[in-house]
Structure 1
């Protein structure tokens, strides 16, 4: 029988052996008296990118041991952002057609089931998200056959996908599974250009989509927890949705000159950017924790209205200096925690991740062949 490892104990052992002074117990402190109770649990964990790519074989597969690491390090949440073509059968050498968007591939769906099962085996709540939905994806460059925000045919397909997922998981408790409708609603002037300017989806258009999907899901399981991502790419709270049976998901990417420093899908000339600082000045504006507090004020206002709030994505690309990242990130985590808002780091393993981030300015701990960012783990465990 293979020996079962305890990641928390093993990490402490390895850290001690390396003479690294780390304390993982969370410090006690008094929360502000005006903290509002969050309708959602304060889930904390990671995004898992197995089906983030529209080609299923190109997803970043979650190793079986990762689920155990997450749970034993004190985390209880996994968001699964899915590109809908990844679980369809069609000719991938051509843009997807409207008559192909409901050709579900049972083999791939079974693989998603396995991820959900593995998460539940370790006590992780699963948030299933359509990162690319019929007619929309925040990542430009995909050729969709229609527009989710404007075309009725796209909305019908969107609801059909959520009907499929709702029926597939209708007997799983909402304590274990929630649905995150569509990732980071946004409208670009040119949907095929990732650098094309854009902005929030008109609220009436987003509401029509959200209400239709919500009705579909609740018609199958009235108790299912459903989440709507913030508008304008996830960062804008939507008080106009407060009357709906919807929770909302914010982001931890503000300001983006910190979170996405030199990210080529964000900046046209990433190598020309100057090194960021936190707190510090960028483009003649000084940024500090007070700016973060102002950024999250609309989300705190939602809590006061009785809307559940969770931060579905947050983190930092590996080109931001590590010390700057951790200083900024701790401020965000403090603000979220003070308001009872949980989080999902983008990602567990990869350029934003806890493992194998590819950073060149840190000393990794070898973790069973993986490269572990011990300082990031220490910070995250402070809030787990």
Structure 2
């Protein structure tokens, strides 16, 4: 996936001590800013700015996984639900973060024999919503911050698999529904502090020609439109609790910084998938002709393009600059699908994690158990370790723990 070129003048000019202080205060509250001042109490998990000022990211360097319990649009989401053992192992292995990407239809009570009607997007099945709330509480109980995300929002999803009745970026009715859903969840969790929960607005935004065809050509969402949507949703969320922590995924499918919202007290989430030729090698949902994908190497030539760590450094430079300016940055998704050769994956991913960690940016691997995960990934070139009935990729776990 080709990344967008982005001028940083819109936010670099606002950097400096005042900008950083206001960014920290907006995200954490003025009473917490002292956690970044030498000699003052430190917030657990919060990276300190060094004496030379390298690390000013106001978000904690959360490290963890995406949980796919409600990722699919079917009623109640996936049948394979996160267990207490999963959460315990995450904690015991040193992780402190989970992201919960949800398809909003998974918690609706609707007729699934036909396309959804616009008025039906408000029909929440409280029984499913209760289970989502319980999962958040269980994860919090194991010391894990939960980032609640609409992977499929009313009017937009990066994937196909459910027919949307409108377009989030173009239709006011879709925006109204989007804000309604976020207000619903914000009220559900109004008493949960921002140290335990955040609200990640919509997964990997893009302006797609056909909203219901994931291979349809797409472009960057115009900045003014993204700002309108993000502002409306954040206001809906903070109507329930003004201190709720809000995160926006990068524009252009998570690749690009959003300079248009840096003044809105909204953190931003990047991705750890560049280049797609490595992370999504032969992935059928990401490639029209998976069998034609060139074999990835790292570093080296993939197809007709040479790749090295310098390419990763250039890709993440706008995100690092954003964090330096005082806007919170986290990498909400990262990793490789199972067909990428394991040694290539580990070599590339080690560079990704090293660059992010050096900038104080945390990460969430796209999944814990499954084709991107450390358990039961189904890779054919891994010497798995038996782990309580699961197949553990010990090399990947060790790499993650290193960062």
Q: How does the TM-score come out when normalised to structure 2? A: 0.86
8 Å contact from structure 2 (residues 99, 146) kept in 1 = yes
| Rounded Cα–Cα distance in structure 2 between residues aligned with 1:153 and 1:195 | 25
Structure 2: runs of 5 or more not aligned: 1-49
Q: Which residue of 2 aligns with 1:192?
A: 212
Deviation at 1:254, TM superposition (A): 0.1
- Equivalenced residue count is 353
SS in 2 for 1:228: strand
Shift of 1:32: 10
CA separation in 2, counterparts of 1:268 and 1:382?
35
* Alignment partner of 1:35 is 2:51: no
8 Å Cα contact 1:242/1:305 also seen in 2: no
1:228 to 218, 237, 248: 248
Contact residue 199 and residue 246 of structure 2 kept, 8 A: yes
Distance 1:243 1:88, change over 3 A: same
Alignment of 1:247-258 (within 5 A): 247-258=267-278
TM-score between the two structures when normalised by the length of structure 1: 0.90
Question: Is the aligned partner of 1:52 residue 2:71?
Answer: yes
Question: Does 1:84 find its partner at 2:104?
Answer: yes
CA gap 1:81/1:262 in 2 versus in 1, 3 angstroms? same
Distance 2:285 2:62 in 1: 29
Task: Provide Cα deviations, 1:86-113, integer angstroms capped at 9, x if missing partner.
Answer: 0110001111111100111110011101
Structure 1's unaligned 5+ residue stretches are 1-30
Q: Does the 8 Å CA contact 1:32/1:338 hold for their aligned counterparts?
A: no
Residue 309 of structure 2 corresponds to which residue in structure 1? 289
CA 1:304–1:58 in 2, change beyond 3 Å: closer, same or farther? closer
Q: CA deviation at 1:57?
A: 4.5
1:201 aligns with 2:244: no
Q: CA deviation at 1:193?
A: 2.2
SS of 1:330 mapped into structure 2: helix
Q: 1: distance between equivalents of 2:51 and 2:163?
A: 48
Alpha-carbon deviations, 1:35-84, whole Å to 9, x = none? 23111011000000000001144514112210000000000000000000
Contact 2:75 2:108 in 1 (8 A): no
Q: 139, 145, 155: which is aligned to 1:135? A: 155
**Cα distance 1:372–1:56, how it changes in 2: closer, same or farther (>3 A)?**
farther
1:145 aligns to 2:165 (yes or no): yes
Corresponding residue number in structure 1 for 2:180: 160
Name 1:275's counterpart in structure 2: 295
What's the secondary structure of 2:122's corresponding residue? coil
Shift of 1:267: 1.0
**2:32 matched residue in structure 1:** none
Aligned to 2:6: none
Inter-partner Cα distance in structure 1 for 2:154 and 2:213: 18
Residue 191 of structure 1 and its aligned partner are, at CA, apart by 2.3
Q: Which moved more, 1:109-118 or 1:267-276?
A: 267-276
Runs of 4+ in 1 over 4 A off after TM superposition: 31-34
In the other structure, the counterpart of 2:34 is none
* Structure 2 residue aligned with 1:315: 335
Residue 222 of structure 1: how far off its partner (Å): 0.8
Secondary structure class of the residue paired with 1:201: coil
Q: For the Cα contact (< 8 Å) 1:315–1:345, is it kept in 2?
A: yes
- RMSD value, Cα: 1.2
1:33 CA drift (Å): 4.4
Corresponding position of 2:114: 94
**Are 1:368 and 2:364 an aligned pair?**
no
The question of whether the paired residues in 2 share the 8 Å contact of 1:141 and 1:191 is answered with: no
After superposition, what is the alpha-carbon deviation per residue over 1:18-45, rounded to whole angstroms, capped at 9, x for unaligned? xxxxxxxxxxxxx894523111011000
Any idea what the Cα deviations from partners look like across 1:310-369, whole Å, max 9, x if unmatched? Answer: 000001000000000000000000000000000000000100011000000011000010
Which of 276, 291, 306 is the matching residue for 2:326?
306
